[in-house]
Structure 1
Amino acid sequence: MEFPRARRVVVCAAVAAAVALGGTAAGTVFVRAHPGARAVSSAVTPSASVPASGEAGVDAVTRPTVDRAALLAEAMAAVPVEDGAEVSVAVLDPESGESAVYGDGAFDTASVVKVDILAALLLQAQDADRDLTAAERSYAAAMIERSDNDSASALWRAIGGAEGLDAANARFGLTGTEGGDGMLWGLTRTTAADRLVLLRQVFTADSELDAASRSYLARLMGRIAEGQRWGVSAAADGPAWALKNGWLPRSATGRWDVNSVGRVTVDGRVRLVAVLSDGNTTMEKGVSLVEAAACAAVSVFTGRPPASATASGTP
């Protein structure tokens, strides 16, 4: 299912306007994160000392650091959310190392765990000094590009299920993710902060994965089937994105888990973004929430809607 680009224009522009004004938009509904949710900045740009005007080299004035966490909390306050829905979002600028996280609750991964499954498989293959088999590559492409569940189950078995996933994640530096029981890989629990750690493993050289493994995974995430090109891509300049989405209706509540993780490029600069949500009454409302949160995340660096928010067409 593809979602109207017009809606993305509205949510991205509204979020950026609220940030630019330094407050929340009138009449907005405040976001609900998981209990105990907070905005957290894991890295900030160091303060820089500069001479005061007219007194070069004398009584240096210290510029305040940019509080990305506060900006993200401000931007998220402008994101509409329906009753019962919860959301967490994390963003990283790999070049500067600045990052911010909003919400620290754990969510079901749904299909975003498929990035994790393939990363674990690639790490195991590296350890064994082997290439992926033709069958593994076929499963990997179907799992990431089309979100094929049978392929995911085959690779879940190949990595050793939750035990294999957890072992790989320990090496990747994930601390808030726990593999689902049995074959229930979609019920793996994770946090937005942990998804950001995994994205860094995929998209930066600071990784347990070698360059060939990173390139392969990133390439598949840039070839997502047309009907699944939503989510964090709403915050990108045109087609400059690589992502994986997840969506799961919960039989106990009738509500939806809707998630999106990936890399976007805005003004020629890469950002890594992870958005997790649950309690959405419909998949479409979940997609709207995820896209608005992705725009909010990117706006803490740009202070404006991305170029794609004013363009027509799909990402």
Structure 2
Amino acid sequence: MESHRAHRRARPPRRRPLLYTVLATAVIVGGTAAGTAYVKAQAHADAGTVSSSATPSASAPASEEASVEPAADPSVDRNALLAKAMKSVTVEDGADVSVAVLDPDSGDSASYGDGTFDTASIVKVDILATLLLQAQDANRQLTAREKTYATEMIENSDNTSASALWAAIGRADGLGSANQRFGLEGTEGGDGELWGLTQTTAADQLALLQQVFGDDSELSEASRTYLQGLMGEIATDQHWGVSAAADGTKWALKNGWLARSTTGLWDINSIGRVTVNGHAYLMAVLSNGNTTKAKGISLVEAAAQAALSAFEDSAG
């Protein structure tokens, strides 16, 4: 089950383009044990050119005088703000972390880190999204059995239910076909039954969250509402991860945790929507190389809070 990708330490952010935005951008679902962007960096155009003269010429038309305005300030560089906040986050030697956050209302986003990560159980959101999309295409509702599997898979992170639905969607091939429509370009399904070793990126997980929580989605409103509801009812012992950045219980999430068999090091991931001061953010945090599950959770939660700090000016 071990992947061939070496663990790497966290490194400074690197911007990368997204298919679904024309802005310069950079953009991150929990463990196979039982049991999330782009950055808007558009500079405002100068409102006008200020005359070199202290006062307008007497012969200048009034319209020319009225057009003289100071240049507008450039947009906030949230990538830089996130990178600064991440400096205070403790990352173990040999561990790696990637963060992506989006303000759906403004379109502003920030990211830190890159590369691919094992999904562990966050892929369960992608599995259910794929099942819902396939049911839509077939013009049918989920069966009672499928709904039971879906509830157990998302709320309790049940692996047996995940394996049943993984088979139902056509495993990696089915997931890949749906992800092409969802706009996930860097996600590759695990071989055979190894859905937890699906490889993904922070950018792709944020794109998936936009499919789940956004209106511009391949999923119908009914499908989105259903999946959102399950992500808002996660079992109590899994109330960690990106929820650390939310106000109280105002979150919907899916976590992932997996100890790799050959190294004993932990993959710890968390994706979801958090609400702060009445404002919602989509957030994905992926990590690997953690020496313990607890240290990985602490890393993910600290990174989620750092991601939110990049939006403090708008969070109020």
Fold shared per TM-score above 0.5: yes
Query: Aligned partner of 2:107: which letter?
Result: G
Shift of 1:95: 0.5
Q: Contact 2:91/2:299 (CA < 8 Å) preserved in 1?
A: yes
Aligned residue for 1:99?
109
Shift of 1:261: 0.1
Aligned residue for 1:59?
69
Q: Equivalent of 2:202, from 180, 188, 192?
A: 192
Query: Aligned partner of 1:88: which letter?
Result: S
CA distance in 1, matches of 2:247, 2:166: 34
TM-score by length of 2: 0.82
Shift of 1:186: 0.1
Q: Name the SS for the 2:151 alignment partner.
A: helix
Query: Aligned partner of 1:43: which letter?
Result: K
Q: Name the SS for the 2:160 alignment partner.
A: helix
Shift of 1:156: 0.1
Aligned residue for 1:157?
167
Shift of 1:283: 0.2
Q: Name the SS for the 1:259 alignment partner.
A: strand
Aligned residue for 1:32?
9
Query: Aligned partner of 2:102: which letter?
Result: L
| Rg (Cα) greater in structure | 2
Give ranges in structure 1 of 5+ residues lacking alignment.
1-30, 308-315
Q: Equivalent of 2:142, from 132, 147, 168?
A: 132
Aligned residue for 2:39?
42
Q: Name the SS for the 1:42 alignment partner.
A: coil
Q: Would you tell me which structure has more helix in proportion to its own residues?
A: 1
Q: Give aligned pairs, total.
A: 274
Instruction: Evaluate the alpha carbon distance shift between residue 101 and residue 218 of structure 1 in structure 2; reply closer, same or farther with a 3 A threshold.
Output: same
CA distance in 2, matches of 1:193, 1:75: 19
CA distance in 2, matches of 1:42, 1:71: 11
Aligned residue for 2:127?
117
Q: Contact 1:202/1:209 (CA < 8 Å) preserved in 2?
A: yes
CA distance in 1, matches of 2:9, 2:104: 28
Q: Equivalent of 1:243, from 234, 253, 258?
A: 253
Query: Aligned partner of 1:283: which letter?
Result: K
CA distance in 2, matches of 1:283, 1:200: 28
CA distance in 1, matches of 2:217, 2:290: 34
Q: Contact 2:39/2:78 (CA < 8 Å) preserved in 1?
A: no
CA distance in 2, matches of 1:161, 1:250: 21
Shift of 1:108: 0.0
Give ranges in structure 2 of 5+ residues lacking alignment.
1-7, 16-25, 27-37, 51-64
CA RMSD, 1 decimal: 2.1
CA distance in 1, matches of 2:271, 2:236: 16
1:287 paired to 2:297? yes
Aligned residue for 1:81?
91
Q: Which string of whole-angstrom CA distances, capped at 9 and with x for unpartnered residues, describes residues 275-310 of structure 1?
A: 000000000000000000000111100159x89xxx
Aligned residue for 1:298?
308
TM-score by length of 1: 0.82
CA distance in 2, matches of 1:281, 1:129: 46
Q: Contact 1:117/1:165 (CA < 8 Å) preserved in 2?
A: yes
Q: Equivalent of 1:229, from 225, 233, 239?
A: 239
Shift of 1:56: 7.2
CA distance in 2, matches of 1:170, 1:285: 34
Aligned residue for 2:226?
216
CA distance in 2, matches of 1:197, 1:46: 24
Aligned residue for 2:187?
177
CA distance in 1, matches of 2:76, 2:47: 16
Q: Equivalent of 2:81, from 61, 67, 71?
A: 71
Query: Aligned partner of 1:301: which letter?
Result: F
Q: Contact 1:262/1:272 (CA < 8 Å) preserved in 2?
A: yes
Give identity over the alignment, percent.
66
Q: Name the SS for the 1:62 alignment partner.
A: coil
Q: Which string of whole-angstrom CA distances, capped at 9 and with x for unpartnered residues, describes residues 4-41 of structure 1?
A: xxxxxxxxxxxxxxxxxxxxxxxxxxx9326x852535
CA distance in 2, matches of 1:302, 1:221: 25
Shift of 1:190: 0.2
Aligned residue for 1:26?
none
